[in-house]
Amino acid sequence: MLNRKIAHYKKIMAQAPDYETWKEAALELDYLLGHVDWKEAFVSDLYNFDLIYDRLQQLRESHQKRQHIDLVRSLREGLHHDLGNMGNPALYQVAHVGTKHLIEEYVNQVCESLNYVCDTPMDCLPERKKLEFFKDTLISFGRPALLLSGGASLGMFHIGVVKALWERGLLPQVITGSSVGSIIAAMIGTRTDAELPELLMPERHNLKAWRWRGVWSAISGQGLMDQQELERCLRTNIGEYSFEEAFKRSGRSINVTVSPVHLHQKERLLSGYTSPYMLVWSASLASCAVPGIFPPVMLMKKDGKGSITPYMSRLRWVDGSVTSDLPIERLMHLYDVNYSIVSQTNPHIVPFLNRQERKKKTSMLALPSRIMKAEVQFHGKAAFDYLRKHVEPELLRQLAGHAYTIMAQRYSGDVNIAPRYTFKHYASMLSNPTPEFVKEMILQGERATWPKIAMIRTHSKISTTLERCISRLKSQIENRRAELRVIA
């Protein structure tokens, strides 16, 4: 009887049309498997429960007694990412929903206290000092980033990941994309919060990005696909915004990776920091220029009069996945990112990533296969490195470079969300997705994200609260200035 119930709830979870249905079944499953008792028990050797309990009690006392100075000092000095190892992945592999209640209570208390400090007038913390406090605390604490990989039409999966995070209030402010991931990132980063739900409606978008040109076109260096068709698709879906304009509109920091064609250039992360006047659609077009599929791209920007002009007209750029599918280190420097949420849809990566997620080999029996894999990777990189520097014609040189960087890159983050592919998915990669296919991939993206929500919330909720507090305080200060100008 118990086994039938377990199988019943697992089937509901696998076929759930929405998060509420999935969560209800997952909670029932946790009850049947005894996970509820595990969550309620503070004690565990997986994290420093004493430290977290003491911090929770300290914050509660200061908050409840309105001891403002103590509360502010406690938040400023005591907030540290992954305090007491509460982000340990093992803490999120026991129950299907949530983790230790102590961890959840601590995160909720921190966020409640931060919102209280933000919204409550305090003599000890004037408005401008309060804004400095939140900015400094965010720099110290760090923030998460969402990284969307390449994957051609299979990248529609990313929309489901975005939807699942958005509905739980966990969508990071920093979003990066390469290839098709750059399209999704650009669409998110050029929409206001009120417009974002429109992104989740495939019938509202131009889905015609692919048009075959033929093999001879690819051999001549013009690509198998018509780049003008892709450009029309991008400009329709993204608009004519520069990175600077996109940030002002959405408040999100979008980043697009592009790879160089020339030997004496390095990969770039295009963003409001590094390329404020560049057109977002142009960056995405370059990031989608898979060697052999599309030709290299000259980037475009807006000049001081708003006219579209070339950016470094001598240079051409290609697919961001070629050299920097997941630019985690660069994000760490630009945005103080300390936690990476990766939605990985690259068809040559997903099968291996899923295998690693299912079974992490730790025994000595796995040592020979690890050595063999390392040897193949080492010699393969050396061979393709030679070919990308010396082979002719240009198409073969680009393909060799692509193979080299595939073997040299890191394709995973702190949390990895990936689809399950069948032959049907691979067959649909280089064709215009139907609304039905997009809906299927969105739902698959949601279902793959739901089990990761608890771990993402532990790492992300505090920094997201800090960002929202900063946004509210900036608006308050701007409104105050506007009122003073009217009075004057």
Determine the 3-state secondary structure of 247 from DSSP. helix
Residue 284: HSE in the Cβ half-sphere, 13 Å Cα cutoff: 35
Interhelix angle 101-119/453-487, rounded to 10 degrees, is 0
- What does the alpha-carbon distance between residue 432 and residue 32 come to, in Å, rounded to a whole number? 44
319 annotated active-site: yes
CA proximity to 440, closest of 428, 430, 450, 453 = 428
Phi, psi angle pair for 266, to nearest 5°: -110, 165
From the list 226, 319, 325, 414, the catalytic residue is: 319
Interhelix angle 127-141/453-487, rounded to 10 degrees, is 150
From the list 74, 149, 178, 179, the catalytic residue is: 179
Residues 7-14: contacts with CB under 8 Å, at least 24 apart: 13/96, 14/447
- What does the alpha-carbon distance between residue 347 and residue 154 come to, in Å, rounded to a whole number? 8
Beta strands per DSSP E along 149-283? 174-177, 253-260, 268-271
Q: Which uninterrupted H or E stretch holds 4?
A: helix 2-15
Determine the 3-state secondary structure of 406 from DSSP. helix
Q: Which spans in 65-195 are helix H?
A: 68-78, 101-119, 127-141, 157-167, 180-189
179 annotated active-site: yes
Say if CB 190 and CB 250 are below 8 A apart: yes
Determine the 3-state secondary structure of 465 from DSSP. helix
Tokens describing residue 240: 């004519």
Tokens describing residue 300: 């475009």
Catalytic residues: 179, 319
